[in-house]
Amino acid sequence: MRAALATARVEWIRFFRDRIAMFSTIALPVVLVLLIGLSFGQSNSRLPVGLLSENPGPLGTSLINELEQSAAVDVTLYTDRRDLYRDIRMGTVGGGVDVPADGSPVQVYVQQASSGAGVILSTVNAAAAQVSTRAVAVDVLSGDVPVARAEAAVDDALAQVPPVTVAARSLGAVNEMEENRFASAVPSQLMLFVFLNGLLGASALVQARQLRVFQRTLATPHGLGVYLSGLGASRVAIALLQSAILLGLGVLSFGIDFGNPVAVAVLVVVYSVIAGAAGMLLGGIAKTPGQAVAVAVPAGIVLGMLGGTMWPLSVVGPLMSRIGHLTPQAWAMDAWNQIINDGAGLAGIATELAVLTGFAVGLSALAVWALGRHARTGR
């Protein structure tokens, strides 16, 4: 046991001295989590909308006030129509509203197939209905009382009416992801980069093979098994360190609630074993360090894409979903979704953990065979 831990310690020292490995393990995933979280934004954020208003009358001014007070859109004033068109095409704003002089129709501009078109149209229609209702009420009352008194009476009456609020929640959606824009970024990037960095560790193993380190372990009192145990422990420990950094960032900096801590811990440990074993297997197969890196990067990215770490498998067809579940990433993402969506514990992700454990055992056995073959044959 002491010899295995000593081997793991040596591998850890080598890892912390490698600046490229430190960057890809710690800095790069954190940066991507920030970029993805900030890019997608929160689901309850207001939709940016551009507003043109050339000489609006009283009704137009009231409509503008209603839009500016809306909880659904964030109004930005424009003075040049070309600037508004440009920003709509570029996606800077979700759409535009042109409020002309009273008596002319209000124009709403949206990009073709825009997901925010319905929100803009419904918001403008609701604001127009509110303005029209007030105008009709003032017109009716002003036949008997002065206009100023009619307007005051209508405003007072509207203030007395309690607002109707509507709360919407999508059934089956990830509750935490509805509330926190980073909740989907952390698990997906954790699954992607833990596996990718596990594969990148194969380069150091190929170098050790070239230096005949594996052959020399056969002459030691402890043998190859102890060395491989220490090697595997160091790889799993590095994966756990990376996972702890990303999870800690999510909890402490972004306030993410990942769900059942026991289920999360077991899932992360099993997946770390998979990543470490995959890297050791590649280290036993690749012929040169450069070849190991050349295989690790595309393999890690492609498997991550197939496994749903870059987009959810719910948006792909049934065939691609079945193909994706040939990867450990897909089963791990399924487990994350159940933990966060449904508050599942160990029992709730038992199937996923069983499949992932199968991946871990199979990859570990293949890695031991591949590295042991080099130790015995010297090739």
Rounded to the nearest integer, the mean pLDDT of the chain is 78
Query: Cα–Cα distance between 97 and 77 in angstroms, integer?
Result: 10
Cα(369)–Cα(376) distance, integer angstroms: 10
Structure tokens at 245: 């950094």
> Which residue's entry shows tokens 């590649």?
282
Nearest to 339 by CA among 272, 256, 275, 273: 256
Tens of pLDDT, residue by residue over 57-85, are 788 888 888 888 887 788 888 888 888 88
pLDDT tens-digit map of 223-240: 566 667 777 888 888 889
* For range 239-255, the mean pLDDT: 83
Residue 157: pLDDT band (50, 70, 90) is low
Q: Which of 60, 50, 137 is nearest to 103 (CA)?
A: 60
Higher pLDDT, 275 or 252: 275
Q: Is the pLDDT of residue 156 over 80?
A: no
What's residue 245's pLDDT?
Answer: 86
Q: What is the pLDDT of residue 166?
A: 46
Distance CA 310, CA 304 (A): 7
Question: Is 362 a residue whose pLDDT tops 70?
Answer: yes
- Contact status, residue 312 vs residue 174, Cβ threshold 8 Å: no
b vs e for 295-324, b when ≥16 Cβ sit within 10 Å of the residue's Cβ?
Answer: ebeeebeebbbbbbbeeebeeeeeeebeeb
- Look at 27-41, 177-191, 266-280 and tell me which has the smallest mean pLDDT: 27-41
pLDDT for residue 96 is more than 80? yes
φ/ψ (deg, to 5) at 326: -80, -5
In the prediction, which pLDDT does 44 show?
Answer: 47
pLDDT at 154 over 80: no
Task: Check pLDDT > 60 for residue 164.
Answer: no
CA pair distance 122, 93, nearest whole angstrom:
16
Q: How many residues does the chain have?
A: 379
Q: Which domains does the chain have, with CATH numbers?
A: 2-41+180-377 (no CATH), 47-160 (3.40.1710)
Mean pLDDT of 318-345: 90
pLDDT score recorded for residue 42: 47
The whole-number pLDDT of residue 63 equals: 83
DSSP per-residue codes, 128-143: HHHHHHHHHHHHHHTT
Tokens of 233: 């422990």
Range with the largest mean pLDDT of 11-25, 223-237, 359-373: 359-373
Q: What is the pLDDT of residue 10?
A: 61
Residue 43 has pLDDT above 50, yes or no: no
Q: What is the pTM of this model?
A: 0.62
pLDDT band at 299 (very low <50, low <70, confident <90, very high): very high
pLDDT tens-digit series, residues 168-227: 444 444 455 445 556 677 888 888 888 988 888 888 888 777 777 666 665 565 656 666
Which tokens hold the place of 38? 């900030």
Confidence of residue 347 (pLDDT cuts 50, 70, 90): very high
